[in-house]
Amino acid sequence: MGEFAFFVIAVFVFVAVTIAKGVRIVPQGEEWIVERMGKYHTTLLPGLNIIIPYLDQVRYKLTTKDIILDVQEQEVITKDNAVILTNAIAFIKVTDPIKAVYGVTDFSEAIRNMIMTTLRSIIGEMTLDEALSNRDKIKARLREGVADEAIDWGLTVKSVEIQDINPSESMQKAMEAQASAERERKAMVTKAEGTKQSTILNAEAQLQAARLQAEAQVTLADASAEAIRRVAAAIGTEDAPMRYMLGEKYIHAIGNLAKSDNAKTVLIPADIQETLRGILGSRK
């Protein structure tokens, strides 16, 4: 009786374990890969599924929801030998579970490394300024470069986003020094341009002043000549006009000297009579 009861219990346990192994409930958003005796047999879809216990084995459980892959930061050298730091994030989806598990060892790591390699290649063809200002272009080329390879692995690359793309610390210091030097250069150019314009204006002013002074002298000379002609016409002798003009200027100068605040004594030249004769005209 005891042996029979033990046998019944053993059979019951065996049946329960067999049923447990044969019945599989796959949750929504997942697909399970089943192998029979080490070889791919079928794919279990969400819901209730029956497999043959002991012969069939669930080898892989894959999610069919979007997978977020964080691509770690890396150093990339640009076309002009500048070092920048960049990282990315990718959104992928498993569309063919069989290729995803049998086409590559670890599809997540494979996509991550593919993105890093493609990113280095794309930025390596750009200068620093192009890399910093063409994030959308890099993103588009990156997605195109990874998408074809991902199809062979049963994956769809829905989007690849560049999270950060910044110069390295040493490059930032070099860029700051370059910007400072450029500002100083522009300031020097502006100062030099101002000095140049000032010099030109001063030269033009001096030239204009010289022209006006020359014109004034010419006008004064014309006026003196006209005065001499009028005096000569009035007096009528050849040298009298000259003596008259000189005597007049002589007496005018003595008058100014007498009006000066510093002039306490006025000296009358000894030839004052000759001067007066020059004004009034000498008579022989």
pLDDT given at position 283: 46
pLDDT per position as a tens digit, 125-175: 888 888 888 888 888 888 888 888 888 899 998 888 888 888 777 666 666
For residue 33, pLDDT beyond 90: yes
pLDDT given at position 27: 93
pLDDT per position as a tens digit, 44-90: 999 999 888 888 889 999 999 999 999 888 888 888 888 888 889 99
Report how far apart, in Å, the C-alpha atoms of 217 and of each of 140, 220, 250 are: 80, 5, 20
pLDDT per position as a tens digit, 247-276: 666 666 666 666 666 555 555 555 555 555
Query: What is the side-by-side order of every strand in the sheet holding 155-167?
Result: 67-77, 83-94, 155-167
Q: In whole angstroms, what is the distance from residue 234 CA to residue 241 CA?
A: 9
Task: Taking the CA atoms of 33, 34, 36 and 38 in sequence, report the sign of the dihedral they define.
Answer: positive
CA distance from start to end of the chain = 189
For residues 257 and 184, the model is more confident at 184
Report how far apart, in Å, the C-alpha atoms of 28 and of each of 24, 46, 160 are: 13, 5, 26
Q: In whole angstroms, what is the distance from residue 92 CA to residue 163 CA?
A: 16
- The beta-carbon contacts of 131-140 under 8 Å, at least 24 apart in sequence, are 131/76, 131/78, 131/84, 131/165, 132/84, 132/165, 132/167, 135/162, 135/165, 138/162, 138/165
Confidence of residue 284 (pLDDT cuts 50, 70, 90): very low
Angle ∠(214,215,216) on CA atoms, nearest 5: 90
Average pLDDT, the chain: 79
Q: In whole angstroms, what is the distance from residue 25 CA to residue 16 CA?
A: 16
- Torsion of the alpha carbons at 139, 140, 144 and 145, rounded to the nearest 10: -40
pLDDT given at position 34: 93
Domains annotated for the chain, with CATH where assigned, are 2-63 (no CATH), 67-172 (3.30.479.30), 232-284 (no CATH)
